[in-house]
Chains A and B, each alone.
Chain A
Amino acid sequence: MNTSGLTLTRAGQAIPRGSIAALPFADFRRVVIDQAREGLAVAALFGDVPAGSERVDLYVVLADRESSRLGVGKTTLELDAFASLTPDCARVHLFEREIAEQYGVRPEGHPWLKPVRFHGSYRSGHDAWGRGPGEPIVVGVTDFFRVEGEEIHEVAVGPVHAGVIEPGHFRFQCHGEQVFHLEISLGYQHRGIERSLVGGPDKKTAHLMEVVAGDTSIGHATAYCRVVEALAGRQPPIRADALRAIALELERLANHTGDLGALAGDVGFLPTASYCGRLRGDFLNLTALICGSRFGRGMVRPGGVRFDVEPSRVEECSKRLKKALRDVTTAVDLLWNSSSVQARFEGTGTVSLEVATDLGLVGPAARACGLECDSRRDFPSGIYRFAQAPISSWNTGDVFARAYVRWLEIERSAAFIMDQLQSLPDGPIEAPAGALRPDHLAISLVEGWRGEICHVALTDHAGRFARYKIVDPSFHNWMGLAMALRDEQISDFPLCNKSFNLSYCGHDL
């Protein structure tokens, strides 16, 4: 990484806020664009209003996968407008929309500046769309893209969908069956999580992290704990690291298995759909065997984990894991051996490596395009510093690739868990994290089952959260789904959607 005026740090390290490079906006803009062009990921870009100030600070976290280093920079906006970075750096498009909505500052020249979550500005009297205070903001009411033409029709779906899933609005511009454009408008799930974290940590904080995306409780709780431990300057015991990783990989196993079953269901291949539906539960039940909750609630806490596994539990866990893996293997093999399934998976919903790179996709969706990124390898923390699950990728970028990468990850995560269970380090599972250092910043990166989870915390003079930024992998990836639908048939939307399986609440926060 060319340091370019940024402050270098690593995931899981805390740095004094005073040491963060403060750049003039023009330099800030240039360094982000240049570094993104060099291949650095934009892990986070967010605003903050420091106590006692009227002006908005922008922070950026750039992630260099080659050197495992992070570059942090900030700039103070002099006005309620700035030159948008998006035209030169597409991957920040949603970050800029978020900043505009939250802080009422306008990225001038942004090609699609629309609300993200449909809430009022955090700075009353400052609104990026010039809406007055008290003016009602109605979710889903915005300028949608429209394709004009006699034979063009528009299909609007949601917020309430046909299945038992979260709400979101999808609008298709179609010519016959062919989708010219899909626009995704979310915000229905907005619960104000980031704002409710300010002033913490308190007794609600760890629990809130578990429902940022309720199917990624371990992932987000781990990211949170790493931030807190960095700010407190303490490491959890190594046994806790191992147990956290086991829980994280079980979360991946359960969700990937469920997704493969759902993909089979979406192409009408019922055998795998029903087997995987059951097997997903078997993996969730393994998490419950460890901590009592199928979703890992209460497992991961600052300083370590809350539940230990005694030898008999380790044995039971290994036994059940082996059995479930055997059943998943044969159930999923049916997918790869059925030409009717392959015909529907292959070539459907293709995202090119170029688009994936430009948009900064993460997780299995990125790896399915051949983008080699995995925070477990690139920014290893906890037990991943010593033990690796090999990175899984494919290069066709279609539904097949996203399914196949999941399958590879199931195999590798299961092997990783077996290894960890057999070589669990001895020792305690918790070491009190202690008080957080005041006026510091810490970043954590955790590879959740959907991809890279980024948490950034800024503490105030008293060691309380002054700002807490959460970037769920879905935030990067929703645009990938929209691109996957280009020129596809509208009837393939459910299949494409499931192949990404993104979080609505993780995006809406």
Chain B
Amino acid sequence: MFRILRERFRQGKRTIPYPAGAPPVLPDRLRGLPVLDESRCRAGCQECLTACPTDALFQDGQGLALDLGRCLFCGECTAACPTGSIQFSTDHRLAVRAREDLVVRSGREYALARSLEGEMLRLFGRSLKLRQVSAGGNAAEEADLNVLGTVVFDLGRFGIQFVASPRHADGIVVTGPVSENMKQALFTTHAAVPAPKLVIAVGAEAISGGLFRGRSEVNDGVTDLLPVDLYIPGWPPHPLTILDGLLRLLGRIDARDAARMHPR
């Protein structure tokens, strides 16, 4: 008993003060929100488009764009780019509410997730129970969702909790490209959640199929299967990215907080 108490004292308090205080320092090599600077691009250069393993980079009438719904944050584009037009910042904030908001463009602000409104916010703002469905997930997204339950992030202090039964849940968190063999189970689990309900897609595979996009064994993610309320991109997203997304959805982080925490 004394040994346990002594160890408790020794290990100390490890919960991060975020979001009330500063977020933890992230590794300098972390690949977070990419920044595009098209003005540096050479005319006709296609190097980044060719290097991207998931065709996340594309060019349209508005110029060069990077779809974070497909992006693996692998940095192949940065390595291939001869002019430094694409850089990954260490900004962990990536979650958005609409699929098209995941597209990063040169000189355009990235539209982070807005809070739920009205009745939905009243219902879920202070208590959100989620059921996780891994549908072809590779255990990394799942691991970083589990991390939110550790003493470091202590998800429970925000009233957010992962629950065992979809009947007890307010929504589902989907990971993986939705393998054909999990499609039915995903639909059944979603149907078992009482309305109104949320769907949260975590990771490139859940959003677009990622590397598996177009393969007959998978369904290119959950985006076209269920109405998604929150997209959290990444491969896998950092736990702080997921937490940031959930808190934004619940209106627990506002624009002023963000400016204070990430002085530019």
Contacts and interface: CB of A to CB of B under 8 A. Distances in A.
A191 B139 contact: no
B31 interface: yes
B152 A281 contact: yes
Contact of A288 (B27, B72, B218): B27
A113 interface: no
Interface string B21-43: 00000010111000000000000
A330 B8 CA distance: 10
Contact of B185 (A188, A192, A213): A188
B152 A330 contact: no
Contacts of A196: 212, 215
A463 interface: no
B133 A203 contact: no
A331 B218 contact: no
Q: Size band of the A side of the interface?
A: 35 or more
Interface residues of B, number: 64
B7 interface: yes
Interface in B210-246: 211-212, 215-218, 235-236, 238-239
A430 B236 CA distance: 26
A307 B30 CA distance: 12
Interface stretch (A16-24, A157-165, A387-395): A157-165
Contacts of B212: 191-192, 196
Contact of B139 (A188, A207, A214, A293): A214
Contacts of B140: 211, 214-215, 217, 295
B187 to A, nearest CB: 11
Interface string A482-509: 0000000000000000000001110010
A207 B53 contact: yes
A191 B177 contact: yes
Contacts of B135: 167, 188
Nearest to A277: B150
25 contacts: A139-B182, A164-B142, A164-B145, A166-B137, A166-B142, A190-B136, A190-B217, A203-B76, A204-B54, A207-B72, A208-B211, A211-B140, A213-B138, A213-B139, A214-B138, A214-B236, A271-B8, A277-B150, A277-B152, A278-B152, A280-B147, A288-B30, A289-B27, A293-B73, A307-B29
A28 B3 CA distance: 59
Contacts of B147: 277, 280-281
Nearest to B205: A211
A190 B216 CA distance: 11
Contact of B235 (A208, A277, A297, A503): A297
